[in-house]
Chains A and B, each alone.
Chain A
Amino acid sequence: MKRYFPSFGLLIFLLVSGCGQANTANEHLGSIDQTAKEMRDELKKTREFLDTATTQSQRIADALVSLQMLAQDMVKIIQTTFAKKPPAATDDIDSVLGGSEGEGEKK
């Protein structure tokens, strides 16, 4: 009986030590879970931000397209409106020298 005593002590030591290690591991796993949860929250916030940014970017892109179309329309209007036209008939110098039209209006 006495012969087994040292082994029994060793067994107790191993059991106590194992329980301690298990407890530490458990605490560590708990910490990992907490970190993972925080990361999930952060990812969720990031995803929401990206969704908002995507929506806003799409609106800006739509607005730019509208502005571009407006600018193109303006250019077309300007080109059409200012298309060069031949001048109307006007008096020549001979008829002007022959008349006396001080008020500016052509008689």
Chain B
Amino acid sequence: MKKGISMVRMLVVFFGVLSAGIPGAFAGETSISEHHCAPASVQNVHTLFTRYNEYARMPGAAYTVDLAGVEVELIRMVKSQAKVVSSTGKDSRNNVWMVLQPALVEDGALYPRFLLDCNVKWTGTNRFDQLCTLQKDKQHFGLDDLKMNVRVIQGEKGCGASQSGIQIDVKMVSNPAHVERIKSGALGAAGVLAPLLSVLFDEDSFFREYFSFIYGEWIKTL
């Protein structure tokens, strides 16, 4: 997704922030709840959503914004690796390791990262649920909790008979101290753009918008 920000708006934000100081907009729980009708079979949606090893190479891995005509990458998934825990028929359970690289952050220790426990369960011939939860007892940074719940039903009421209804519910709890460290790492390298970057690097850009964006980009490929 490209977010268009005109030069004028950018300058207004830039100087507005310079005069107003840098707001600290991190903390707490945020969530996404959205529904899509995708022109695809439930099987195709399943194939796409369970390509865990491919997440970092799929469309949507990089979240960009348009700054004065320059496409700027704010955050990118740089690693997605999966290990199968169990597989029964079409149901599956995987450990999925994700690493995100925020723009300008060079220290890998400051990259948001988490291990997810992803369960896929078919609840009928034309429907399945995918629930991914952050494994709190394993290495994680940036987020303290994450639950990604996807329900896919082909021929769902409200969507076409050949379409699949995709309900996405994501809940996440960011770690304010971690996010501040990520932000400091990015702002330190931003120079005169630090105030502007501070606005762009709020919690929404980091996580909520990113997850909403990545699902949206995947669905576009269906």
Contact = CB atoms under 8 A, between A and B. Distances in A.
Chain A complexes with chain B: yes
Interface residues of B, number: 43
Contacts of B67: 78
Interface string A58-102: 000000000000010011011101101101111111101101111
A100 B138 contact: yes
A106 interface: yes
B83 A90 contact: no
A77 B193 contact: yes
Main secondary structure on A side of the interface with B: loop
Interface residues of A, number: 27
Interface stretch (B26-34, B93-101, B158-166, B212-220): B93-101
B36 interface: no
B83 A97 contact: yes
A16 B177 CA distance: 111
Nearest to B175: A104
Interface stretch (B17-25, B41-49, B102-110, B148-156): B102-110
Given A78-B67, A96-B97, A106-B109, A91 B72 contact: no
Interface of A: 71, 74-75, 77-79, 81-82, 84-85, 87-94, 96-97, 99-102, 104-106
